[in-house]
Copies of this chain bind each other. A is one copy, B any other.
Amino acid sequence: MKGKLYIVGLGPGGKGDMTLRAVKAIEDSDIIVGYTTYVNLIREMIRDKRVITTGMRRERERCEKAVFCAERGNRVCIVSSGDPGVYGMAGLVLEIIAKQNSKIEVEIIPGVTSATAGGALLGAPLINDFAVISLSDLLTPWDVIQQRIRAAARSDFVIVLYNPMSKKRRKHIEKAREIILNCRKPETPVGIVKNIGREGETVIVTDLQHMLEYQIDMVTTVIIGNSSTFAENDRMITPRGYEV
């Protein structure tokens, strides 16, 4: 039997936000590979399958195992939350395949990413141009990240921050806020969403001035409005520009 590697985005967390194609790919697979937290999101769907999980920071090992298993004729799903192409495993898998000159069949299945899943919970903050920036400086220099925040703030993008804070990295979100405050009013709406579609889901609409009073961590997404974003009835809305 010919092997195949699916690179699957599970969406933010709840099964409802998975696509039909993602469900099918999981059903079609013999082996499921993923970070433990993500695999746990789909436990009930994969009782009859071989599961290979690895912990945090073991991304390369995980991708290599998935490619290895597919090369040997298995149908393999490597799963991640959100979309596998947004700070996800799709790039690393394709890089490994290119390096190994592997000819396995690959199908990337996009998913709902935190930016739009969080946006939906907050209202409609992303209705105009937006920039997606990760505050993790493990793989991108902090200088480059700051420059991007500055550029996005100055040119009035709505700004979506992924990985805004970790236990070892607490100051980046403060600095990001400071940079943005140089260009936007303290009353600019800010949305903070946590554990989207999972246990402990929280949705907060606040503003630049008060945002640091709320708990922000690695499972949080922060969305900062542009100059025309407004808050109403605990919803955050960026007008597209239609007359209402």
Which A positions have Cβ atoms within 8 angstroms of B? 9, 11, 14-21, 23-24, 59-60, 83-88, 90-96, 98-99, 108-113, 116-117, 119-121, 123-134, 138-140, 144-145, 147-148, 150-152, 154-157, 232-233, 235, 237-244
The A contact surface, by secondary structure, is mixed
Question: How many copies of this protein are present in the complex?
Answer: 2
A20 CB, min distance to chain B CBs, angstroms:
5
Q: Which residues of B contact A110 (CB under 8 A)?
A: 17, 112, 116-117, 119-120
A140 to chain B, nearest CB (A): 6
In the complex, chain B residues whose CB is within 8 Å of the CB of A117? 110
Please state if A94 and B124 are interface contacts (CB–CB under 8 Å).
yes
Query: Residues of B contacting A157 with CB < 8 Å?
Result: 131, 148, 151
With A111-B116, A112-B19, A120-B108 known as contacts, the answer to whether A130 contacts B132 (CB < 8 A) is yes
